[in-house]
Structures are given as C-alpha cells and as structure tokens.
Amino acid sequence: MGTTVMSAPRTELMYIDGEWVRGSSEETIRVANPTTESVIATVPKGTREDAKKALDSAAKAQKKWEELPPLERASFMLKMAHMIRERKEELARVLTTEQGKPLFESRLEVEGSASHFEYFAEFARRIEGDVLPSDNPRQTVMILKLPIGVVAAITPWNFPSAMVARKLAPALITGNSVVVKPSSNTPLSAVEMVKIAEEAGIPKGVVNLVTGDGSEVGDELCGNKATGLVTMTGSTEAGRKIMQSASNQLGKLILELGGKAPFIVWRDADMEWALKCAVWARYWNCGQTCISSERMYLDRSVKGRFLTKFVEMSKALRIGDPLSKGTDLGPMVSMRERETSERFVELAGGEGSKVILGGRRPTSMKKGWYLEPTVIDGVQQDSPLVQKEIFGPVVPVLEVDSFDQAIDMANDSDYGLASYVFTKDNGNVMKAMHKIRFGETYVNQVGPEQLQGAHTGFRMSGLGAEGSRYGLELYTQLKTCYIDWSDRPGLPYLFPYN
C-alpha cells in the first residue's frame, strides 16, 4: 500500500532593495493549495517597517531608472516577457497550485502576463507629450509626461500573475519604480514574477515585493508620502479603505474593483454560440473573475429553451484536480470564498426563486474548496443575488420582455465593469453600446479583455483604467513648460513698473 508523501512547505522571502529578506517580524503567512487544502509555502508577514523600507529603496532606485532611455527600460521588459514564456509551464503550475484554476487557464494567464510586458514595451518610443503654440510671439508651450515616482501595486488572488504584470509593465516603461503587495492567498506567482525581474537584470530597488496584510502593509503603502501612485485591483470594500488611506498623501489612484456583469440574451441571438459564451463567462476561473457573468437576463420567448440547455452544459462540466488534463472546473481559492458563495445560495427560495442546479459541495471530491455549478431561476431584480457580487460558480436567472427593459435592469446596479449582449439586431447593438453604463460591453463574444482596450469601471467598479494608452497615461505626471526663445525676453504686461 502506498502512502501519500506530503512535501514540506517551501519558504519564500520578500524582495527589498535587491535582497531577498525575511523582514522585521518572525511571523509568516501560510499559503494553502485549494485542491488539497494543505500548506504549500510560507511567506513573511511583512510589517509597516518593511513597507517603509521597500518604499525607501524604490524612491532611491527610481531616480536612476527614469534616467534610462525608455528603449533600455523596454529591453528589460522584453527579457522578462521572454523568460515568462520560456517558463510558462512551471509558472502555470505554481499558479494552479496556489489558486486552483485549471492548468489550461493558468497557461493562458501566464501568456497574458508576458503580453503585458511586450505591449507596454512597445510604448518606449511613444510616451508622447505635446508641443503647443503660445499666446505670445516666440514662445512655446510644452506638455511633458514624466514618471510619477514610486508606484504601490496591490494585487488580488484571482489573477495572481497577470495582475502583477498589468501593474508592473506600465509602471516600468514610464520610469517609475514599484513596490508590489500581492494577496496573501496567492503570493507565490508574484514571488516568481519578481524573481524573473531580478534575473532579467532590472536594477536593484526598482522592483520590490512585500508580502503581508492589506490592513498593515497595504495601508502603509497607500498612506505613505513616498508613494506617488496606488494601483490596486480588488474588492470595492478594500478600494474604499484605500481611498481613505491614500487621502493622507493625496496620491494618485487607479482602482479596479468588483463587478456584477449582466449577460443579456435576446431572441434573435445565435443560441448555440450564446450558450457556449454563457458557460465560459460564468464558470471560467470557477466564477472568480471580475468580468464574470453574474446575472443572466433572458428574453422570455427563448428563456425555457436556453435555460434547459445552459443547465445541461453546466452539469456536464468536469469538476476535478485542476492539474489534471480534462478538468473544466477547479476548486475555489479558499474556504472563506466558498462559504461566501454558499451564503448566496442559501438566499434562494425567497420570492419564488429556486436552485435548479447545484448549490452543494461535490461529493466526488474528498478534499478541496469545490462548489458545484449552480443556477438559480426566478430571481427578483432587488434580490442580493442580483445586486451583490457573487464571486463563485453561481448564477441567478431573470427574464425580460423587451430589450430596453434588459438595459434598464442591467444598469440598475452599484457596479459597472463588464456587460454582455447577444443579439443580431444592429439597433440593439448600438443601443447597448450607448446605453449600457458599463466600462466594457462584449457584443456576441466573451472576455478576457484585450491589452489595447481600456479596462475601466463605472460607478463603484473603480477609478481610472488599466491597459491601453489611456491606462498608461495614468502612470505619468503631466508637466507644462513655458519657454521664451525671443531675442528680447519679457512681455510688456509683465514689467509695467517704469
């Protein structure tokens, strides 16, 4: 009889001023594998003191980093992209082991991380300011885009690799230095990314990593005057707290927060395609994606047919070990996240709503934080199932009688990140583009978002944007210079004091 040999948890460190360090406290954070529930690694539980040291190191290093021509900064980033692609398999395994998404999804995420470095490296020759005519003769007005200084990059657990890349890449190309603070659930992908930055030769202090609690390390990074920009992806609740701490230093903020994407299927849609998209949009990453479909609005005339098929397809998803080939749905990231989703499922039953699929922990899995694909029909618009973010494989279903009604119900939300519309009618498409008040509308397709698109949220889904040239600009500080090049400097109104 064989026995399962559990390997000892590995010990990872923080990276401050070019050194891998334990930090000022002996305390550690235990990182668990959501599939086996066992501890796979520890990372230091950083303190305010560690955060301050990292900020100091970043501030010092930034001065030289900004002196490099952008093309040189880009060459480090392209090296990183190359190394990420070379190590794709190894990085994808680390990601799946700490986060739980199926390996094929982790591979896609790791490729996405490399693409972020490539995309932003392309801007090396395009961080363009403006040269403007002056109101006066022989003068010129120039607007420069300068680095901000130190960027605090605070990342969530649902895309532990790509979110680090999404913040590091624009910060580095624009001449900023960075302190990364990953989620305590999934710090290992961030550790790997920083190791790659080190191996790619990025000068010491330009990239730092501090692990620890949001309420301590995160809070220090946001409120400290050494920070010039806070870029955070995470929950709306944490985003609010970050705004408060950042007000201490009146720093710039980019917040990518929660979502509650409506998924509208109109009667003329290509049903087969819409069904495939509906399955991916809800169950991708076990429903833990900020752009996940979180409420389906189905045209009443096709609802019965669509829902029967959707339930069949949801049921057919293969739940299993995310490292195994053929697994469609892995576990959720933590026991806590599963319990939060389960509490939403418990709300079903009121006002005629009913769980028509799932809602339980699958009996086929002896370990792991799994939850079955869950469909709840007959849900009312004002239910928390429709109004609150459900970060798991649970979807409420509603029916609509007109396309306008679907748009109104979609907009009736505190959130405004992603939205989906399936229709062949051009009028409906245009209406959706103009009237759905969300930062992204996917028409007859699903995500993930693309690098050249601005990933941005209306209402409580965020502030600013990531990706695209609009996102890049937020990593720069505008400065206007007024230059007099006349032979006889000075203007009559400036010195009228004869």
Residue 158 engages ligand NAD in binding (rule: CB under 6 A): yes
**Residue 50: both structure tokens together:** 């560690």
In the complex, the smallest distance separating the C-beta of residue 13 from ligand NAD, rounded to whole angstroms, is 18
Q: Which of 238, 345, 410, 465 binds ligand NAD (CB under 6 A)?
A: 238
Residue type, 73: R
Among 76, 157, 306, 422, binds ligand NAD (CB under 6 A): 157
Given 127, 171, 173, 290, the residue binding ligand NAD (CB under 6 A)? 290
Q: Which two tokens stand for residue 390?
A: 């459900």
Element (H, E) at 340: helix 335-347
Give 118-135 as a DSSP string: HHHHGGGG----EEEE-S
Query: Does 242 sit near ligand NAD (CB under 6 A)?
Result: yes
Of the candidates 290, 294, 372, 440, the residue annotated as catalytic is 290
Among 256, 337, 389, 466, the one annotated catalytic:
256
Based on the shown chain and the rule CB under 6 A, indicate whether residue 468 belongs to the binding site for ligand NAD. no
Question: In this structure, which amino acid lies at residue 368?
Answer: G
Q: Is 256 a catalytic residue?
A: yes
Q: Is 286 a catalytic residue?
A: no
372 lies in the binding site for ligand NAD (CB under 6 A): no
What kind and span of H or E run contains 210?
none
Question: In this structure, what token pair is assigned to residue 64?
Answer: 């030289």
Instruction: Report how far residue 152's alpha carbon sits from residue 164's, in angstroms, rounded to the nearest whole number.
Output: 11
Contact region with ligand NAD (CB under 6 A), list: 236-244, 265-273, 318-326, 484-492: 236-244
Decide if residue 113 touches ligand NAD (CB under 6 A): no
Footprint of ligand NAD on 304-323 (CB under 6 A): none
Q: What is the dihedral of CA 13, 19, 23, 24, to 10 degrees?
A: 160
Between CA 196 and CA 87 the distance in angstroms is 10
Please select the residue that binds ligand NAD; options are 100, 258, 331, 464, rule is CB under 6 A: 258
Name 24's Cβ contacts closer than 8 Å, sequence gap at least 6.
46, 47, 49, 50
Q: Which stretch binds ligand NAD (CB under 6 A): 21-29, 238-246, 269-277, 395-403?
A: 238-246
Beta bridge partners of 455: 466
8 Å CB contact between 347 and 385: yes
Residue in 56, 109, 256, 377 binding ligand NAD, rule: CB under 6 A: 256
Residues in region 376-435 near ligand NAD by CB under 6 A: 389, 391, 417
C-alpha torsion sign, points 135, 141, 145, 146: negative
Q: Which residues bind ligand NAD (CB under 6 A)?
A: 154-159, 181-183, 214-215, 218-219, 222, 232-235, 238, 241-242, 245, 256-259, 290, 389, 391, 417, 455, 457, 462
Residues belonging to the active site: 256, 290
